[in-house]
């Protein structure tokens, strides 16, 4: 029996090692991807709002999905995370529209199918651009649901535009502490040079690690599609510009913290996320709830950073329950 156990451990370790080795090697079948994600499938038609930011003409991509069946007269805005665009919200969109909600899903400037200008990115501009989009669609008030980086943006929108925010959902938000006092500053130039120096295999490994950490102990082959979406633009001739955009964007959590926004949120708020989204997420999420007056907390058992993909039934049920109260 002990020998069988030993063989099983060896075989299991070998399988893990093979998996890790394959993850390190960039697949040859990935083609150069557009930095504006035209080759990434979106669940609904994408529209564009022209904007001018820092003297540059840009366009903001968004999906505007009507309710299925009888509309309830309410709108939900879904805000994506830093490594995504609106394309990964297919399941929540379906759940919300089936419940009668209109669903608006913007790609923030610098993300997804929106323009990629080299500008000083911050949550104030993102919040204003989102408000401008809603005004252009004739939407005066909406429930704001933000995932990951979008959770930080949702906090900024709710604090800055209380008249527009019907409800707020901070879903597995990042930026749970003020990093300025705990993390050394790294210049954009240093980060950019490091990014551009990567080989294809190193770029693939970085993308793989970025996505794999979202699903602790629960990796599925279908999650690799998100790795490929991150990796494909690194093969594009436009990658140098996009790499600088990504470099600047990644500084947002350091330069524009939202920890002081929470206490100014007046809308009814739900903080929701996977209980395994980082070792300290449950405690830090509770701190957000304790800071926002009247906020609620719901932790999804066994889930990591992207429960709407990992455990969609639980996520959609709790989201609809909160929005329908």
User: What mean pLDDT comes out for the span 189-196?
Assistant: 97
- Fold observed for domain 47-183+257-324: Rossmann fold (3.40.50)
Amino acid 1: pLDDT: 41
Burial of 189 (0-12, 13-18, 19+ CB in 10 A): exposed
Amino acid 325: pLDDT: 85
Amino acid 22: pLDDT: 52
Tokens 């551009």 belong to residue: 196
**Model confidence at 291: pLDDT above 90:** yes
**Smallest Cα–Cα separation from 171: which of 182, 158, 160?**
158
**Model confidence at 189: pLDDT above 50:** yes
Amino acid 279: pLDDT: 79
Amino acid 8: pLDDT: 40
How many angstroms from the chain centroid is the CA of residue 72? Answer: 27
Amino acid 10: pLDDT: 37
User: What mean pLDDT comes out for the span 196-206?
Assistant: 97
What's the pLDDT band for 3 if we cut at 50, 70, 90? very low
User: What mean pLDDT comes out for the span 51-68?
Assistant: 98
* Cβ pair 151, 171 in contact under 8 A: yes
Cβ within 8 Å of residue 135, ≥6 positions away = none
Mean pLDDT estimate for the chain? 93
Cβ within 8 Å of residue 26, ≥6 positions away = 200, 201, 203, 204, 231
* Cβ pair 79, 150 in contact under 8 A: yes
pLDDT digits (tens, 9 = 90+) for 5-38: 333 433 343 444 344 445 479 999 999 999 999 9
Rg (CA), the chain: 20
Kindly provide the b/e burial profile for residues 245-260, where b requires at least 16 CB atoms within 10 angstroms of the residue's own CB.
bbbbbbbbbeebbbbe
What is the CB neighbour count within 10 angstroms for residue 139? Answer: 17
pLDDT digits (tens, 9 = 90+) for 99-138: 999 999 999 999 999 999 999 999 999 999 999 999 999 9
**Model confidence at 178: pLDDT above 80:** yes
Amino acid 17: pLDDT: 39
User: What mean pLDDT comes out for the span 255-281?
Assistant: 96
User: What mean pLDDT comes out for the span 48-61?
Assistant: 98
Q: How far apart are CA 213 and CA 45, in angstroms?
A: 30
Alpha helices in the chain (DSSP H): 2-24, 90-98, 123-136, 149-160, 188-196, 200-212, 224-231, 239-249, 252-255, 281-291, 307-310, 312-324
Amino acid 141: pLDDT: 98
**Model confidence at 316: pLDDT above 70:** yes
Tokens 């535009």 belong to residue: 161
Amino acid 128: pLDDT: 98
* Cβ pair 68, 98 in contact under 8 A: yes
């Amino acid at each position: 029996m002990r020998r069988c156990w030993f063989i099983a451990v060896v075989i299991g370790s070998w399988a893990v090692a093979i998996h890790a080795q394959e993850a390190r090697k960039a697949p040859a079948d990935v083609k150069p991807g557009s930095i504006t994600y035209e080759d990434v499938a979106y669940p609904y038609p994408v529209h564009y709002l022209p904007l001018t930011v820092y003297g540059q003409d840009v366009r903001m991509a968004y999906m505007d999905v009507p309710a299925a069946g009888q509309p309830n007269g309410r709108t939900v805005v879904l805000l994506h995370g830093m490594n995504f665009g609106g394309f990964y919200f297919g399941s929540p969109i379906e759940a919300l529209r089936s419940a009668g909600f209109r669903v608006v899903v913007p790609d923030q400037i610098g993300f997804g199918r929106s323009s990629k200008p080299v500008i000083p990115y911050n949550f104030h501009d993102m919040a204003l651009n989102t408000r401008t989009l809603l005004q252009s669609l004739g939407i005066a008030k909406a429930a704001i649901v933000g995932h990951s980086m979008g959770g930080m943006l949702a906090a900024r929108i709710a604090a800055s535009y209380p008249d527009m925010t019907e409800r707020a959902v901070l879903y597995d938000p990042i930026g749970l502490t003020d990093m300025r006092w705990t993390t050394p500053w790294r210049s954009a130039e240093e980060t950019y040079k490091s990014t551009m120096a990567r080989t294809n295999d190193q770029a693939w490994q970085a993308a793989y690690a970025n996505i794999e950490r979202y699903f602790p102990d629960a990796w599925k082959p279908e999650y690799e599609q998100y790795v490929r979406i991150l990796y494909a633009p690194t093969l594009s001739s436009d990658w140098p510009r996009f790499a600088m955009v990504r470099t600047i964007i990644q500084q947002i959590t350091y330069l524009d913290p939202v920890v002081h926004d929470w206490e100014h949120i007046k809308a009814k708020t739900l903080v929701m996320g996977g209980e395994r989204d980082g070792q300290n997420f449950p405690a830090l999420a509770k701190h957000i709830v304790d800071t926002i007056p009247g906020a609620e907390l719901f932790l999804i058992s066994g889930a990591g950073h992207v429960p709407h993909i990992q455990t969609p039934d639980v996520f959609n049920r709790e989201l609809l329950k909160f929005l329908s109260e």
